[in-house]
């Protein structure tokens, strides 16, 4: 039931408040008194289109507010509950604000709402019967409400609707489960594919670094042999080598030792240097001899490194990361 209608800066009214009692209320007055304006303001409250022409001349904003008693209106209470709007002691306060900038806002119990929500609630508040005005019979779902009320089957209808909604919810849940099952199946197949890729290459930790070192050696085989021979001759094998010169120097220092024993410590240093040069020369010689060049072996190493690098790019990580991923996939 409409209890009060309040207008501010609306049409010809600067500010007006109209109270309504229970039962029949009649508005009378001569033409131009504002009866139609009150009906228009009420239509605006119920969700009709707002227009800046509604604003009183010279003002920036028009306000229309209505207070309704909804104590017995369960449909509206359900909408308020759904929209999380608190009722005011069985009162419902609707408000529309129209700005001269073209902006208009709607409120229910001081909570901002959309016009569609306002229209949904208004269907259960008021019928305006008149030319070019909206009526509840214009809404198709009003037919069933009238028939249900008349036939006394309102509870049965609501129970059927609830059962239908539950059925739809169960169907949706079932479809979601089917969708999830499909996603899990696809995920499982993808995990298997990833695991197969890793097992096919079967990487070993730090294997890529070892391959890079070995490939670098084989690719520079000619230089290695050339430099090994030069170094070995300089250090030990060639005429006038470092080892030979150190050994000859040691003979003269031994003679000096006989004259001045203080030089003994330097002789020991020279002996140590001779051993170091000799060992270094032997290591370099052995290094050159143990490296065997094979073009086929080099190509195999390159293919292996290519497979490892391809796997690292796919999984965006190091070999250690890939092996951790393998453990993770196996656990799934």
Q: How confident is the model at residue 1 (pLDDT cuts 50, 70, 90)?
A: confident
Assigned architecture for domain 2-139:
3-Layer(aba) Sandwich (3.40)
Mean pLDDT of 69-74: 85
**Residue 152, pLDDT score:** 81
Tens-place pLDDT, residues 158-214? 889 899 999 999 999 999 999 999 999 999 999 999 999 999 999 999 999 999 998
Give the position of tokens 């600067």.
14
Residues 298, 304: Cα–Cα separation, whole Å: 10
pTM of structure: 0.41
Per-residue pLDDT tens digits for 98-132:
988 888 899 988 888 988 888 888 888 877 765 54
Beta-sheet strand order (sheet of 91-99): 13-19, 2-10, 61-69, 91-99, 104-108, 111-113
Helix extents (H) in 134-206? 140-151, 154-201
**pLDDT tens track for 2-45:** 889 999 989 888 898 999 888 888 888 888 778 888 888 888 88
Residue 134, pLDDT > 60, answer no
Nearest to 305 by CA among 225, 24, 184, 297: 297
User: Residue 132: its pLDDT value, please?
Assistant: 47
Give SS3 for 5: strand
Contact 121, 93 (CB under 8 A): no
Q: Supply the angle between the helices 264-290 and 242-259 in degrees, to the nearest 10.
A: 170
What pLDDT shows up at residue 137? 55
HSE-CB for 285 with a 13 A CA cutoff: 13
DSSP state of 28: -
Distances (CA, A) of 61 to 5, 102, 287: 17, 10, 95
- What are the pLDDT digits (tens) for 199-245? 999 999 999 999 999 899 888 888 888 888 888 888 877 788 888 88
Give the count of alpha carbons within 13 A of 157, CB side only: 12
pLDDT at 300: 93
Q: Answer whether 100's CB lies under 8 Å from 60's CB.
A: yes
Between 74-83, 136-145, 259-268, 276-285, the lowest mean confidence (pLDDT) is in 136-145
- pLDDT at position 199: 93
User: 319 with 310: CB under 8 angstroms?
Assistant: no
133 pLDDT band, cuts 50/70/90, is: very low
Q: Cα Rg for the chain, rounded, in angstroms?
A: 48
Helix, strand, coil content of the chain in percent (nearest 5)? 60, 15, 25
- Dump the DSSP string for 83-116: TT---BTTEEEEEEEEETTS-EEEEETTEEE-HH
Q: Which long-range contacts (CB under 8 A, 24 or more apart) does 280-287 make?
A: 280/235, 281/231, 281/232, 281/235, 281/236, 281/237, 281/241, 281/243, 282/236, 284/228, 284/231, 284/232, 284/235, 285/228, 285/232, 285/236, 285/237, 287/224, 287/228
**Residue 311 CB neighbours (<10 A):** 19
Closest by Cα among 68, 64, 67 to 16: 64
Give backbone dihedrals phi and psi of 23, rounded to 5 degrees, phi first: 85, -150
């Amino acid at each position: 039931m409409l209890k009060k209608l309040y207008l501010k800066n609306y049409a010809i009214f600067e500010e007006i408040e109209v109270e309504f009692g229970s039962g029949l209320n009649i508005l009378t007055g001569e033409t131009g008194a504002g009866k139609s304006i009150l009906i228009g303001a009420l239509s605006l409250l119920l969700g009709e289109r707002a227009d800046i022409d509604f604003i009183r001349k010279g003002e920036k904003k028009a306000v229309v507010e209505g207070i309704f008693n909804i104590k017995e209106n369960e449909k509206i209470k359900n909408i308020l509950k759904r929209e999380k709007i608190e009722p005011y002691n069985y009162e419902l306060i609707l408000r529309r604000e129209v700005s001269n900038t073209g902006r208009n806002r709607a409120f229910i119990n001081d909570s901002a709402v959309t016009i569609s929500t306002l229209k949904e609630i208004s269907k259960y508040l008021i019928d305006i019967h008149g030319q070019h005005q909206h009526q509840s019979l214009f809404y198709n779902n009003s037919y069933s409400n009238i028939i249900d009320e008349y036939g006394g089957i309102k509870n049965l209808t609501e129970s059927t609707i609830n059962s239908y909604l539950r059925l739809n919810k169960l169907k949706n849940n079932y479809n979601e489960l089917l969708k999830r099952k499909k996603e899990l199946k696809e995920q499982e197949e993808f995990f298997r594919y990833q695991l197969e890729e890793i097992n096919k290459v079967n990487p070993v930790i730090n294997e890529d670094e070892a391959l890079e070192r070995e490939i670098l050696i084989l690719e520079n085989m000619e230089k290695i042999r050339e430099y090994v021979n030069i170094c070995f001759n300089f250090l030990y094998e060639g005429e006038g080598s470092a080892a030979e010169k150190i050994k000859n120097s040691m003979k003269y220092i031994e003679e000096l030792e006989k004259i001045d024993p203080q030089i003994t410590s330097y002789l020991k240093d020279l002996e140590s240097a001779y051993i170091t040069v000799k060992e270094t020369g032997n290591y370099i010689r052995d290094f050159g001899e143990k490296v065997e060049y094979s073009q086929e072996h080099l190509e195999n190493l390159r293919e292996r490194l290519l497979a490892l690098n391809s796997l690292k790019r796919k999984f965006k990580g190091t070999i250690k990361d890939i092996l951790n991923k393998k453990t993770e996939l196996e656990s799934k």
